[in-house]
Structures are given as C-alpha cells and as structure tokens.
Amino acid sequence: MARPAPSEFDEETIPVPRSVRFPVELVPPASFDPVRIQTWPRVAGRVEWVGGRLLYMPPCARLQRVTVADLVTALGTWCRGHAEFEVGTNEAGMALAGAVRAADAAVWRRKDLGADRGLARVPPVLAAEVAGRDESETELREKARWYLDAGVAVVWCLVPEKREVLVVTRAGESRCGERGRLPPHPEVPELAPLVDDLFAQAAACSG
C-alpha cells in the first residue's frame, strides 16, 4: 500500500545496510486495523498486510519505476477502448483472503467494484507486479500464486533487468521476452501488449 496521509501513527525511520533482506516486518501501531488505511504507519515506501504481518518494502528505484510507468501507459491506453474495465495503480490496494495487498497495477471489472471508494473487496481480473531490486522470481511467483488463490484470473510479473514478463494463470505459466507479445486472455479481451512497449524506458536506461 502507498503511505496514507500524516497521522498520529507516524513512525520514525532509520537507515539500514544494503544487505538487509526485504520485505522487513514492522510492528503495527496500537490501533492498527488492516482495512482502515488511516491507521497504517506513514513510511516512505510500500506496506502490505500478509499472514498477520505488516511487511515493508523500500521506495522504487529507477528500473522499477519506469517500467511501472510503461505498464500503466499500456493498460490505460487499452482501457480507453474498454470502458467496462477500470485500471488501478499507485500500489492499488485490495483486501482479499484475509490480507491487504497492493499491486503495481491491476484491472477490475467496473461493475464488480460498484460505488465503493475504499480498498477493493473483489479480486481484479488482472494483477501486475514489477520486480524491484530485492525481489526474486521465486518471490514474484509466490505473490502470483496468492493472487490466483484470491480469485485473480491472470498475473503479469515484469522483470526489468531481463526485460521479460512471466504470465501466470491457473492453467500454468509462460515467459515472454523482447520482440514478443503477451498472450491474450479472455477475461481482458484484446489486451496483448508488446513486451518491448512494457520495457521501452528500461531499455533506454540500459543504453
């Protein structure tokens, strides 16, 4: 989750060595309630509630942030022609399966969300995660499995360092590399972006 507005729950932060393994577990504030964002600690980074633990990841570095931007551009462009869907980003929050998690980007059916303006209580049809500095493919697969178990139809795991996308569904997984195209899925019709478009800025950063 992205950090909420300032509140009485603000936490002091300290620098940590680069060798620290993320995510780091935080101690929840005394009045913490996972479904009430205003009770979450205010930190510079990303926080999720998983398995009864409050887990912290640091802010995005360059390759991750530019890839998220290209991902959202692709999803937003597609969504303009498919008004029955809604694209969320900026650590898109969802309260599902006893946890509160956040996707780098996600696509919901607009009718499923209704008028609720808080955390999504229904699974998106697509969830997308962009690997950060400390995230392995094993960790991405674990989160993908959590999404599938929570009712998500398809998960994209983008790996900027390799400029590859791991597409995970209940039927299995496939890997898409440069000059390829992501396979379409019936739950998100006509959404099959070019891999190179998802990593355009990452490629430019790499020279």
Question: Which residues have CB under 8 Å from 160's CB, separation 6+?
Answer: 63, 64, 66, 67, 130, 131, 199, 202
Do 53 and 46 contact (CB within 8 A), yes or no?
Answer: no
Q: Which amino acid is at 48?
A: E
Q: Which residues of 165-177 are buried (b: 16+ CB within 10 A; e: fewer)?
A: bbbbbeeeeeebe
pTM assigned to the model = 0.84
pLDDT reported for residue 46: 80
> Which runs of E-coded beta strand occur in 3-57?
24-26, 46-50, 53-57
Q: How far apart are the first and last CA of the chain?
A: 32
We find that the CATH architecture of domain 62-205 is: Alpha-Beta Complex (3.90)
For residue 87, which phi and psi values (nearest 5 degrees)?
A: -100, 135
Beta bridge partners of 158: 130, 165
In tens, the pLDDT along 61-110 reads 999 999 999 999 999 999 999 999 999 998 899 999 999 999 999 999 99
Mean pLDDT over residues 161-188, rounded?
97
Domain edges within the chain: 1-59, 62-205
Give the model's confidence band at 5: pLDDT under 50 very low, under 70 low, under 90 confident, else very high: very low
Residue 27 pLDDT greater than 90, yes or no: yes
For residue 62, which phi and psi values (nearest 5 degrees)?
A: -60, -55
Do 197 and 70 contact (CB within 8 A), yes or no?
Answer: yes
